[in-house]
Structure 1
């Protein structure tokens, strides 16, 4: 960015959203730095009073150039831009050093041409070091400038020892360093909020994926089993076949409602309802259900997790196990689902159980599975 570009900022009225906020922040940073240029009035006044001579004219030009370069250096270096590499060990680009070197040269020139009033530029030189180099180096240069000033006022005739330039250097560097630290913490907080928002969106996507998988996996499995049963009954028991087809229709409508509920995040699932659905699905698949008849003893904080456990486990039993019996045991903080089928063969360890483990992790529960070869498969979910 050149000096001319600094004067061609877009009109705020033409910007919207983040661009407008960025432009306002940009102007605020320039104003924050530019307001302190008022302290260059002393060297300007001293140069102006001596404008009849060459030294005064050169001192006036050098002071103006120093002020302009100081603002340009700040603008290009983005001193308060929290996206830089940090307060300590900040990245130093090759273009910052030449600008800072010119500032040093102008500081020396102003001091030699004007005298002690020109040392006001030392404060700006020390502060600009904070966005030119890593902070430890900048602080060292600032202390060196303060020490150098205190030395000069003691060895040069006519220099006033009570102007407070060294104190101004120290206070200005402390103020700017504190401001940068506050800006950095604010930026870190904003970044943390953005990350939390991203994680919330990601978690919602995972929740939706789990719910859709579990809803459709269970519902379509039961619908498939009932449709096959209805097909077999068409020639032997038309009334029962019609009843199974009606049940398939009801299940399809229920699945559609469940999917809609999952999408808007208001789907409710009950343990008692899932046990009733499990009994129906197991019976339709020709598997003998041995299920509890009451859920009152279950910890209320675990009922939803246990309901998902019943749904996912029974879906796997119907789809994969080839079992003849399925048993569910309920305890206040524990549920066990076991069958006497072919064990973990056929994908029982698929994405359904992964989703169940994620649900359990969210409430501090654990999921364990075991397979006894041809003697069945067992899922145990236990809360704390």
Structure 2
């Protein structure tokens, strides 16, 4: 999952060199729709001298028209490049190649400084994946150097080429920093979404475990009180059962409040007492431990949930007459003699599996040969830490 997350947000350094730089479809590039106005201002140091030179030509020639077309097409590419951010990579590559080709053509036609190449090389580091921008920019600078050599201007223009390389390199690192920040923003949004989903799952799981057991016990006890009143008219016993129902209701309400505030802790010993009362009310013979001292303290919370859910399932679905619970230092078994012949994975079992998986444990449910279910929860014991080698103390005064 961690590796897929890296690939999803472009955090894998090898793959991100060839990936699209802006994974967020909402991005419109630097400046967004305001960029063309800013671009005109940035282009003025290039356009003003070229336009003045073209206007001072004595006559209009095809070469003059071609120069104007090349120069202004190059400027238009610079002003409009943010609108290509949402395009496919192939379209971006074609645009980048065409723009740098126009920059090289402007260097030839206008006989200007090598600074003219900076507009195209800077655009590519923002528009294209890092690897493609490096390849095309290096090729552009190399061809620009050849053009200067062919025109005999390399001696005067190599300093400008070095400046173009330096500024492009700085822009390259700036573009990658922007990409990294945006990927981290996307990752943080995803983490927040997952945190909300996990909290919802925790709340749903806790409420299912809590209310399922509490309401089942309340139903069983209320039914017992009704049967006592209908059959024997034993009002004191019925009142006692109703009083326990009242206490259970108050306890369930308190547990719901604690669950919502994420402050509820389950006690295995308390769950044993509750299971004993619930099974007795359902007239199910319960063979339960009288203490939980043999269970490791750090496992008792998880086992408390397992016992609660297993007893709830026995009361609801099993039709059992006898339930047996056994505890070990890192395991718990609940066995019943009900009529179940198959394991049905419901929300309760899935919730228990998630709880035990969170602490490295497992829950296994199997059918007994003569009917009924056996639920076993087990958490691996931590590996013992390596013993520290003993250091032999030397007698005072050193070796004899």
TM-score (normalised: structure 1): 0.76
The residue aligned with 1:193 is 188
Aligned length: 349
The residue aligned with 1:11 is none
The residue aligned with 2:105 is 108
Q: Give the conservation status (yes or no) of the 8 Å contact 2:30–2:82.
A: no
Cα separation, 2, equivalents of 1:66 and 1:165: 23
Q: Give the conservation status (yes or no) of the 8 Å contact 2:99–2:120.
A: no
The residue aligned with 1:261 is 258
Q: Give the conservation status (yes or no) of the 8 Å contact 1:154–1:161.
A: no
What's the CA shift string for 1:287-320, capped at 9, x where partnerless?
1222222223322221111110110111111222
Give SS of 2:91's match. coil
Q: Give the conservation status (yes or no) of the 8 Å contact 1:149–1:165.
A: no
The residue aligned with 2:79 is 72
Matched, 1:367 2:363: yes
1:353 to 326, 333, 349: 349
The residue aligned with 1:148 is 143
The residue aligned with 2:45 is 41
The residue aligned with 2:227 is 232
Matched, 1:209 2:209: no
Cα separation, 2, equivalents of 1:156 and 1:285: 101
In the TM superposition, residue 65 of structure 1 has moved relative to its aligned partner by: 4.4
Give matches, 1:1-384, under 5 Å. 26=31, 37=42, 41=45, 44-45=48-49, 48=52, 52-53=56-57, 65=72, 69-78=76-85, 91-93=89-91, 97=94, 101=98, 104-105=101-102, 108-109=105-106, 111-113=108-110, 115-117=111-113, 119-131=114-126, 135-157=130-152, 160-235=155-230, 236=232, 237-344=234-341, 349-384=345-380
Change (3 A) 1:246 1:149: same
Cα separation, 2, equivalents of 1:25 and 1:151: 32
The residue aligned with 2:12 is none
Change (3 A) 1:271 1:157: closer
Q: Give the conservation status (yes or no) of the 8 Å contact 2:213–2:312.
A: yes
TM-score (normalised: structure 2): 0.74
Unaligned runs of 5+ in 2: 1-26, 381-400
Query: Does 1 or 2 have the higher relative contact order (CA < 8 Å, sep 6+)?
Result: 2
Cα separation, 2, equivalents of 1:127 and 1:54: 35
In the TM superposition, residue 52 of structure 1 has moved relative to its aligned partner by: 4.2
Cα separation, 1, equivalents of 2:272 and 2:42: 77
Q: Give the conservation status (yes or no) of the 8 Å contact 2:225–2:239.
A: yes
Q: Give the conservation status (yes or no) of the 8 Å contact 2:103–2:120.
A: no
Q: Give the conservation status (yes or no) of the 8 Å contact 1:139–1:173.
A: no
Cα separation, 2, equivalents of 1:224 and 1:243: 15
Change (3 A) 1:58 1:292: same
Q: Give the conservation status (yes or no) of the 8 Å contact 1:43–1:63.
A: no
